[in-house]
Structure 1
């Protein structure tokens, strides 16, 4: 018997108690289209936030409260975008013969150097 949860889609929202929500099925119905629209809105919001954050950070005229607020909204947006990436990545077909080898660094990174410039946190 095929387990329908093997093909479940991670939805871009959580249950009231914070647990992930999943959709089983082929992805052609109302909830799937609603999830697509929510994901698109989350990605669009993240892009707008990036456009607002860059000049604020580049100007170096921010107050600690502004930086704190920016960190909070960027973190929330990053969590949304991460969830979208997780959901979409899980729905990609695995290439033939592609099995995880366990060599990847925790968190999905490659274990290499930071992608941030040396003066990013000055």
Structure 2
């Protein structure tokens, strides 16, 4: 079920088996507990994952977090620790084979990265 959150990104919530889905996501490295108290990391399994898996993960992440490109550049804001943002930008840069930068809490994909990942 999709919930319209009035001015915020839509949110999908399972109507059945939500507990099982939550357990599977936790096993895959999804954070558990209050967001403000966590030192998040990019899931460790991505280091040894295939290029296809890494690209799928990045595309899913961007579909859920990034906004539409402005002047062919994708940027999004994350309230996450600096290490997480740097690791995330490095992963996106590796998958897209293009520049990705971090500024304060913003992740900014270059035009080349945006094109490589199919956001244009």
- Range class of TM-score, shorter chain: under 0.3
Q: In proportion to residue count, which structure has more strand?
A: 2
The TM-score normalised by the length of structure 1 is 0.26
* Structure of larger gyration radius: 1
**Structure with greater contact order relative to length (CA < 8 Å, sep ≥ 6):** 1
Q: In proportion to residue count, which structure has more helix?
A: 1
